[in-house]
Chain A
């Protein structure tokens, strides 16, 4: 049975001469890998509100409504499984590598595609009441 202090002393000497392996966190950050699951990003412009993502979501984090044209995600429920990204036919859901910042409260992001009514006819002069100079 060999008893030796040598391995730990060489390890300690080596790390004393080495620069720290840790990072000074807020200033120095780790680069994310291409595959890192950070957060879900949504672009409303291409969305057709098919609601497939909401059906496929295992934790019911996504709620989409066809009538109201809204899409909402609850980041505290999302487990970043990526089902919605794979199943989106329009490609408007993306998985980004940057992690979502810590939440102080439950955050629900709601998107709404505004109602597109008829364009107001152009060239209509709005008749403002002209204030006539007072004549005495």
Chain B
């Protein structure tokens, strides 16, 4: 006897910041199978690379995603620099690292707020975003933009940041860290958060590895894989270890993000200590990228892959981005099997879905 009902979930749903649709096959209140479908916001940005100048394309690459905008720009520029054989000055490398970590913190704070909202914890949501606002002000002071940083370009950075500003940033990051520690304790200890997340949506380490999970989803399942260990930008010279939690449930993924924020504050402090002096850009005039490269970066949501193929012309032959959410769809489907309908929003949120960058 088949007693299943199909409940459509999304693309418009109060907890979903972006459009993803799930067909949930339910047996009573239990999910038997989940069928995801995306594609509501496909923009074809990859095709745009074949029509645009590769220098101008850095602007487009930065607009793939609104939250990890800087890391997309950084990844694109790093790839082109690698193909052209350009060495970026060390100060630019360190500033890129700092901005990458700042955008990681703001992305995780945004996610912590959204997840608190999904748990029905409105006041925690507001507090997370209050702290994020302080961080966005730091971004605006150093780069000039609040969402689109617009500082990364092929060959380095558009503008240098004065040492006086960096000194002020150090003080402000300390204030933000103090403010963050207060809400971090709430996420670590609060019964409301724990009741909704502990033991929900468990993903074992083997499943996470085989299903190709990336980022906090993978590390929350006890696999110490962080693409930053490849040592791109300044990460090879800094002292840090990937954050790992063993349980593999929604709570573990939440705690991974909380601990990663703490770690990012530490990485920023290390970068500020070692900040080299000097120029921030090299001229790439007359150079054209040639060849192909596949390279990976760690975004707040996980590992992102870029594939660039260029044949020495003004336009690229192919630019491909595999964003972390795309890799996390298969683990999501696996996690949803056998969970309660009421837990679906929480589980969907713990992969930190960013559908717009998934579809590019």
Residues of A within 8 A of B (CB): 1-8, 10-12, 15, 21, 33, 35-37, 58, 79-82
Q: Given A33-B140, A36-B140, A82-B150, are A4 and B190 also a contact pair (CB < 8 Å)?
A: yes
Q: Given A21-B130, A81-B150, are A11 and B141 also a contact pair (CB < 8 Å)?
A: no
Interface assignment of B239: CB less than 8 Å from any CB of chain A: no
Interface assignment of B334: CB less than 8 Å from any CB of chain A: no
Cα-based distance from A43 to B313 in the complex (angstroms): 37
Picked from B133, B145, B148, B186, the residue with its CB within 8 Å of the CB of A11 is B186
A3 in contact with B191 (CB, 8 Å):
yes
A82 in contact with B194 (CB, 8 Å):
no
Contacting residues, chain B, for A8 (C-beta < 8 A): 123-124, 186, 190
Minimum distance in angstroms from B87 CB to a CB of chain A: 23
Cα-based distance from A36 to B138 in the complex (angstroms): 11
A37 in contact with B124 (CB, 8 Å):
no
Minimum distance in angstroms from B227 CB to a CB of chain A: 28
- Can you list 30 A-B contacts (CB < 8 A)? A3-B191, A3-B194, A5-B190, A5-B191, A7-B183, A7-B185, A7-B186, A7-B190, A8-B123, A8-B124, A11-B127, A11-B186, A12-B123, A15-B127, A21-B133, A33-B140, A33-B144, A35-B140, A35-B141, A35-B142, A35-B143, A35-B159, A37-B150, A58-B59, A79-B59, A79-B150, A80-B145, A81-B59, A81-B150, A82-B158
Cα-based distance from A81 to B150 in the complex (angstroms): 7
Minimum distance in angstroms from A102 CB to a CB of chain B: 16
Interface assignment of B283: CB less than 8 Å from any CB of chain A: no
Contacting residues, chain A, for B2 (C-beta < 8 A): none
Residues of B within 8 A of A (CB): 56, 59, 123-124, 127, 130, 133, 137, 140-145, 148, 150, 158-159, 182-183, 185-186, 188-191, 194
Cα-based distance from A7 to B142 in the complex (angstroms): 32
Q: Which residue of A lies closest to B146 (CB)?
A: A36
Q: Is the interface of B mostly helix, strand, loop or mixed?
A: helix
Picked from B56, B137, B189, the residue with its CB within 8 Å of the CB of A6 is B189
Picked from B133, B150, B182, B194, the residue with its CB within 8 Å of the CB of A7 is B182
Contacting residues, chain B, for A5 (C-beta < 8 A): 190-191
Contacting residues, chain A, for B189 (C-beta < 8 A): 2-4, 6-7
Contacting residues, chain B, for A12 (C-beta < 8 A): 123
Contacting residues, chain A, for B144 (C-beta < 8 A): 33, 35-37
Contacting residues, chain B, for A21 (C-beta < 8 A): 130, 133
Cα-based distance from A1 to B199 in the complex (angstroms): 13
Minimum distance in angstroms from A14 CB to a CB of chain B: 8
Most buried by B among A7, A10, A81: A7
Picked from B127, B145, B182, B183, the residue with its CB within 8 Å of the CB of A37 is B145
Q: Given A3-B189, A58-B59, are A33 and B141 also a contact pair (CB < 8 Å)?
A: yes
Contacting residues, chain A, for B190 (C-beta < 8 A): 3-5, 7-8
Contacting residues, chain B, for A58 (C-beta < 8 A): 56, 59
Contacting residues, chain A, for B142 (C-beta < 8 A): 35
Minimum distance in angstroms from A136 CB to a CB of chain B: 82
Most buried by A among B56, B145, B182, B186: B186
Cα-based distance from A6 to B188 in the complex (angstroms): 11
Cα-based distance from A22 to B186 in the complex (angstroms): 22
Contacting residues, chain A, for B141 (C-beta < 8 A): 33, 35
Q: Which residue of B lies closest to A6 (CB)?
A: B189
Contacting residues, chain B, for A37 (C-beta < 8 A): 144-145, 150
Minimum distance in angstroms from A48 CB to a CB of chain B: 23
Contacting residues, chain A, for B143 (C-beta < 8 A): 35
Most buried by B among A1, A10, A15, A33: A33
Contacting residues, chain B, for A82 (C-beta < 8 A): 150, 158
B183 in contact with A11 (CB, 8 Å):
yes
Contacting residues, chain A, for B137 (C-beta < 8 A): 33
Minimum distance in angstroms from B132 CB to a CB of chain A: 12
Minimum distance in angstroms from B125 CB to a CB of chain A: 12
Cα-based distance from A12 to B127 in the complex (angstroms): 9
Cα-based distance from A106 to B137 in the complex (angstroms): 29
Minimum distance in angstroms from B146 CB to a CB of chain A: 9
Cα-based distance from A36 to B140 in the complex (angstroms): 6
Q: Would you list the 7 A-B pairs with minimal beta carbon distance, nearest first?
A: A7-B185, A35-B144, A58-B56, A4-B189, A37-B144, A7-B186, A33-B141
Minimum distance in angstroms from B130 CB to a CB of chain A: 6
